[in-house]
Amino acid sequence: MASPTYQPRVNTSGNGWRNPPLGGDAGGRRLSHQPRPDEDQSGPTGPKPRPGYGLRGPRRSPHVLTAESLASLTLPVGDDGVIIGIDPQNQPAVLSLLRPAPMEIALVGSMWMAQVLALRTVAIGARVAVETARPQAWGQMAQAAGGGQQCVSVHDVRQIAPQGPSVSSPVLVVRDMGARPPRNQLAPSPWQSVLTVLPFLGPRSPQMLGRADVVGLQRLSPEEADVVTRIMRLPEQVGAVLPTLSDNAMLWCSRDGHQFVMTQPTEAETNLLGGPRRMD
């Protein structure tokens, strides 16, 4: 707390804990909070400062609103989640990866795209647990994420333990085990999302895509595009675009719709992971 700008006056009439009563005249003496007669006068450069109060401010009525005006107040709030890129209108595309209910995401694409999503999930304060058959490929990213804090943990296949997600510590579980991943051993939990990375469509992929809440698709072969178009009930013109996507373009689908997104890596992401790619 700042020191007072005036010399405090010693209270000799009290006992050290209480000031003289505000309504009394304190034995004929002037109360300490009242200005001296010469302090109320204005000098040649304007009003003099009042001890402990500074210069006099403007004497205006406070800004108030009537009860009828409260309804006109608005607070614009955007979507919350991970910024995964920009949409065709060059607007930020946000994916809500962490929710109060369990969530399953299927990503048919590269480990590069999965690692970008993992880094950006850490950036919003979540933890990431990776169950993978290639732990060395995830090790460098795990060490670099979180600025020295262990925000990303890497586990061998079937060696991942319950993560204890909560509203204050949500978790994204990344499963990177090829086109035929084993069954997930973790029970569904609130504030825990599971992202399964598929390099290409395998025998079990149609079932996985069908039960996923969100599906992300990088460039596919024409045959894979036909399968995905049928499973996800996409318009034919949308499915026809999938074999032509660039390395940093994706189609994100859900039961409510679909959206093309271009993921633009930051300089830090490029230095750590390299440039966008479809296959690792």
CATH, residue 181: 3.40.50.300
Give the pLDDT mean for 212-239.
95
> Is 14's pLDDT higher than 80?
no
Residue 51 within any structural domain of the chain:
no
261-279 confidence digits (pLDDT tens): 999 999 999 999 999 999 8
Query: What are the CA-CA distances from residue 49 to residues 1, 42, 44, 60, 61 (Å)?
Result: 20, 9, 13, 19, 22
Res 53 pLDDT > 60:
no
Q: Is the pTM of this model over 0.85?
A: no
Task: Examine the pLDDT at 4 and tell me if it is beyond 60.
Answer: no
Is residue 66 included in any domain, yes or no? Answer: no
Question: Residue 194 is part of which domain span?
Answer: 82-273
Residue 26 lies in a domain: no
Query: With 50 as the cut, is the pLDDT of residue 15 above it?
Result: no
Mean pLDDT of 120-134: 94
Within a domain: 109: yes
Residue 70 in domain: no
Residue 246 is assigned to a structural domain of this protein: yes
Query: What pLDDT score was predicted for residue 92?
Result: 92
> How far apart are the C-alpha atoms of 32 and 56, rounded to whole Å?
18
Backbone phi, then psi, for 200, in 5-degree steps? Answer: -160, 170
**Is 10 among the domain residues?**
no
Q: What is the mean pLDDT of residues 150-176?
A: 94
Residue 129, domain member (yes or no): yes
Query: Which of 12-21, 135-144, 245-254 is modeled with the greatest confidence?
Result: 245-254
Give 171 or 59, the one with higher predicted confidence.
Answer: 171
- Mean pLDDT across the chain: 82
Q: How far apart are CA 251 and CA 258, in angstroms?
A: 7
Give the pLDDT score at 36.
Answer: 56
Contact between 151 and 127 under an 8 Å Cβ cutoff? The reply is yes
In the chain, how many domains are there? 1
Which parts of the chain fold into alpha helices (H)? 111-123, 135-144, 205-211, 222-231, 236-239, 267-273
**Res. 80 pLDDT band, cuts 50 70 90:** confident
Instruction: Find where tokens 């060395």 sit.
Output: 136
Task: Give just the sign of the alpha carbon dihedral 21, 23, 27, 33.
Answer: positive
Average pLDDT over residues 223-250: 95
pLDDT value of position 69 = 76
